[in-house]
């Protein structure tokens, strides 16, 4: 898992599929996490042209293929399992190198596809793989394990204070 975290956080850009303006949704919380850690992130949401997060409007893109530099972007996925597989196929075709499937975002088929097709695939329900356990009881989650992942990747970050 350490290698996957290093690969994921070595990308110069990030995107959050399932980003939302609703603060109760995990897509909102994960997108805010990237912003709070001063990481360049793009919200992905085909149903709305922008999302409001941290008192600011952020323009969305409809899918991974619309990202500015997909081959330099790691993708966090917070979508329902039936949407996730289609999204992963588009991400693969666009050249996304690494994905982080948040807990509840994937089924067996989506997980198998992600593991086969990406340089790195971090999945939300695999605590303890490769000798590195997730901190949270739900498994691997950016909100819980992201800072440790940034440290493993040697990425300098500073958490913004609001």
CATH of the domain at 22: 3.40.50.720
Res 128 pLDDT > 80: no
Q: Among candidates 152, 143, 156, which has minimal Cα distance to 34?
A: 143
- Give the confidence band of 112 by pLDDT, cuts at 50, 70, 90: very high
Can you tell me the distance from the alpha carbon of 13 to that of 67, in angstroms, rounded to the nearest whole number? 10
- Give the confidence band of 139 by pLDDT, cuts at 50, 70, 90: low
> Three-class SS of residue 19?
coil
Domain count, the chain: 1
Note the pLDDT of residue 159: 72
| Inside any domain, residue 102 | yes
| Inside any domain, residue 90 | yes
The overall pTM is greater than 0.75 = yes
Handedness of CA 128, 105, 71, 158 (dihedral sign): negative
| Inside any domain, residue 160 | no
| Inside any domain, residue 129 | yes
Residue range of the domain that includes 91: 2-152
Res 161 pLDDT > 80: no
| Inside any domain, residue 162 | no
Q: Among candidates 24, 74, 17, which has minimal Cα distance to 46?
A: 17
Angle ∠(58,48,24) on CA atoms, nearest 5: 75
| Inside any domain, residue 122 | yes
Question: Left (φ > 0), alpha (ψ -120 to 50) or beta: where does 95 sit?
Answer: left
| Inside any domain, residue 157 | no
Lowest mean pLDDT among 72-81, 96-105, 133-142, 151-160: 133-142
Find the helix or strand (DSSP H, E) in which 51 lies: strand 50-53
């Amino acid at each position: 898992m350490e290698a996957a975290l290093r690969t994921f956080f070595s990308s110069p850009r990030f995107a959050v599929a399932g980003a939302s303006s609703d603060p109760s949704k995990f897509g909102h919380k994960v997108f805010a996490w990237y912003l709070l850690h001063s990481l360049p992130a793009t919200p992905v949401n085909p149903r709305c042209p922008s999302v409001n997060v941290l008192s600011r409007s952020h323009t969305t893109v409809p899918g991974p293929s619309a990202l500015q530099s997909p081959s330099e972007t790691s993708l966090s996925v917070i979508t329902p399992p039936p949407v996730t597989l289609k999204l992963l196929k588009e991400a693969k075709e666009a050249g996304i190198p690494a994905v982080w499937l948040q807990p509840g975002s994937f089924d067996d088929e989506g997980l198998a596809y992600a593991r086969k097709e990406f340089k790195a695939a971090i999945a939300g329900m695999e605590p303890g793989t490769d000798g590195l356990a997730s901190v949270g009881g739900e498994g691997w989650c950016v909100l819980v394990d992201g800072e440790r992942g940034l440290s493993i990747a040697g990425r300098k970050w500073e958490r913004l204070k609001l």
